[in-house]
Amino acid sequence: MKNIDLTGKIALVTGGSAGIGLSVAESLCQAGASVAIVGRRKDALEDAKRHIAKRYPNAEIFAVSADASKVEDIRKMVNQVIQRFGRIDILVNNAGTNVLNEAFDVTEAEWDRIMNVNVKGLFFCCQEVGKHMAKQGGGKVINMASQMGLVGLYKRAAYCTSKGGVVQLTKVLGIEWAPYNIQVNAIAPTFVETPLTRPMLENKEFYEEVIRRIPMGKLAQPEDVAGAVLYLASDLSNFVTGHTLPVDGGWVAW
Say if CB 220 and CB 251 are below 8 A apart.
no
Task: Say how many residues make up the chain.
Answer: 254
Which three-class secondary structure state does DSSP give residue 181? coil
Radius of gyration of the chain (CA): 17
Catalytic one among 56, 154, 159, 180? Answer: 159
Report the number of secondary-structure helices (H) and strands (E) in the chain: 9, 7
CA distances to 25, 177, 233, 237 from 240, in Å: 22, 12, 11, 5
Cα separation, 74 vs 129, whole angstroms: 9
**CB-CB neighbours of 105 under 10 Å:** 9
Contacts of 10 (CB under 8 A, 6+ apart): 33, 34, 35, 36, 81, 85, 86, 87, 88, 89, 90
Say if CB 145 and CB 187 are below 8 A apart.
yes
Of 253, 250, 252, 146, residue with least CA distance to 192: 146
Name 141's bridge partners: 91, 184
> Is 207 one of the catalytic residues?
no
Active site residues: 159
